[in-house]
Amino acid sequence: MAERYDICIPRPRKSGKTYWHKIGSAFPSRSGEGFDLSFDSLPIPEYSEQYGLQVNAKLFPARDSDQESGS
């Protein structure tokens, strides 16, 4: 099976911890340069005084579908 990553965006919890919400998957491209991205949903941009509208996302090693993503 090809190497796969989860595309996740940070969401704050009331407890102050960050929950990483999965929005898609990333796979190394067949050419070996970069990644192919497959989105299940698109994140809503957040406003930053420094950068204006922005979206932050991270790639994490893929988890099994029965595991909860987050930390």
Residue with token string 């911890």: 17
Q: Is 50 helix (H, G, I), strand (E, B) or coil?
A: coil
* Distance in angstroms (rounded) separating the CA atoms of residues 38 and 33: 16
pTM, two decimal places: 0.76
Encode pLDDT of 7-62 as tens digits.
Answer: 999 988 899 898 999 999 999 999 989 999 999 999 889 898 999 999 999 999 99
β-pairing, 52-54 with 46-48? Answer: antiparallel
pLDDT digits (tens, 9 = 90+) for 43-57: 889 898 999 999 999
Calpha distance 18→50 (Å, rounded): 21
